[in-house]
Each structure stands twice: as C-alpha cells, then as structure tokens.
Amino acid sequence: MQPSEVWGERWNANPNPLARRWMETVVDKQSMVVLAADRYTMAGLTELLEDVSPHVAALKTHVDLVEDWTAESWAEFCEKAKDADMLIFEDRKHGDIGKIARDQMGGVYDSRSWADLMTAHLISGPSVLDGMAEGWSNVGRHGGVLLLAQMSSAGNLLEIPGYTDAVVDAGKEHPACFGFIGNGSRANELAELRKKVGEVKMIWTPGVNLVTGDAELGQRYGDPTEAVLAGSDGIIVGSGIHRSDNPTEAAKSYADVSWNALLQRSGL
C-alpha cells in the first residue's frame, strides 16, 4: 500500500518532511505504535527494542530514567532504533524560556543530536518553540516539537478552559511544531482536538491500553481503536507492551489494532 492511499490529502498536501516520514513508516510497518520504552537499564531497553521493533513505528524515550546510562551505550541503542526505521522521540516536556530549553537540548544527554522529536509545554510561551528549533539547528539538524495540548492524567490543569485552544493556535502556525499530544483516554475530547488542529499537524496520544480505565497514580486509559477513529495519528503505548509477559505479541496486537482502525478511518 502507498501512503497516499492510506493518508489521502494529509499525505499529498503535507509539506513537513518529518510528518511525511511518519506517515510513510506507519504504512511500511502497518503500525501506528509509538513505544514508550520506560525501562530503567540499557540491557532492559535493548532487549525490549529487539523484541518489538518490527511492530513499532517510533521509539519514545525518557532518557533520564536510565540508571546505567552512558553516552556510548545510548548511541548504540539509538543506532539500533534508526536501523529499525524508527523516529526517536524524547518525551522531555520542556517548559522553560526559549534560550534555556535550547541549551537543555545540549548538556550531558545532548538530546538535540539523537532525538528527532521532543515534547514541550507551551506554558512559557512560543519562545520554547523558537529555542528548540535553534537547539537542533546548532547541530545541523531539524527536529519537531510535539506540544502538550491535552494530557492523559486525571486532574491535569491543561483542562482549564482556553488552555488547549491557545496551544493549538500557537502551534498550528509554527514550523517547528510537528504536532500535538492529545488525550487518548477520552475519545470525545480527542475528536474536539482534531477539529481544532485540522489536517496538517499530527496528534499523538498517550493514555491508551487494551485494558481501559483508571490506572496507577492518576493515569487513565482509553481504547486505542477509539483513539484512532477520533483522530489520533500515533498511539503511545508503554506498559501495555513493556510490562507484558510477551512484549513481541503485545506490540503486534497494538500494531494490528491501530492499523485496522486507520484503514477504517480512511474508508479502506
């Protein structure tokens, strides 16, 4: 299948190389799964990646969770992910003023050099987007920011009226904005977000699991099929895969569910 068949105008009219890369990988792998690789050792991460990579289209990291992190082992891990055709997405949730966010992409972890995508809150204003664009550009790269327009956790303050709309208005027009984080646990809120975002920017959704309902420490889970039908372009799945007894099979199940939902959404 070709990306244009599955994504239609969203493929044909999209000028953003990262968005096109994502849409293409989804079709190649028949998977919209963004793996939240929340393991705490390099061995655990590497094993997980090897188990699931055919069924996963992007790798989401929290680099500061890793207890035995070294620059060398991380570089090797990222290389494996790239070889398996995955975009690398550091869920850093930047939120400082532009120049500090830019410089926080350097430092020990030097995320500007290996992350293709990164999350940010827009709480400090649009300078965070400019700063992050500069961060990548300082090492000769282009990356994309996923702005938090919604969150999956109960009681999050992004739900205060007006906040999501303000994030979408600022991000929609900004070239560094790859897309938005939407709440996968509430399909109706996600559908509203899709209407506001339009067709160009991506929406990726955490808070999805085949077992729905309230979970650990305020996390909430919705059904991945419903999330895709409501407008999700990437389902972020963590424990549903990495805590499963069989991560390979779990990853395949999420891939199948997301791909079938995408085909249904596209009328195929």
Q: Which residues of this chain interact with ligand 5BU, rule CB under 6 A? A: 36, 38, 62, 91, 119, 148, 151-153, 181, 206-207, 219, 236-240
In the complex, least distance from residue 3 CB atom to ligand 5BU, rounded to whole angstroms: 26
Closer CB to ligand 5BU, 6 or 66, in the complex: 66
Residue 200 CA to residue 214 CA, distance in Å, equals: 31
Q: Which residue has the tokens 């077992």?
A: 211
In the complex, least distance from residue 60 CB atom to ligand 5BU, rounded to whole angstroms: 6
Closer CB to ligand 5BU, 156 or 248, in the complex: 156
CA angle 209–87–17, rounded 5-degree value: 120
Residue 157 CA to residue 185 CA, distance in Å, equals: 16
Residue 135 CA to residue 120 CA, distance in Å, equals: 13
Q: Classify 120 as helix, strand or coil.
A: strand
Q: Which position among 29, 60, 80, 93 bears the catalytic label?
A: 93
Residue 190 CA to residue 212 CA, distance in Å, equals: 16
Q: Classify 186 as helix, strand or coil.
A: coil
In the complex, least distance from residue 237 CB atom to ligand 5BU, rounded to whole angstroms: 5
* Phi and psi at residue 105, to the nearest 5°: -80, -5
- Total number of residues shown for the chain: 268
In the complex, least distance from residue 266 CB atom to ligand 5BU, rounded to whole angstroms: 25
Closer CB to ligand 5BU, 64 or 68, in the complex: 64
Is residue 93 annotated as a catalytic residue, yes or no? yes
Residue 67 CA to residue 36 CA, distance in Å, equals: 17
Closer CB to ligand 5BU, 230 or 236, in the complex: 236
Please identify every residue annotated as catalytic. Answer: 93
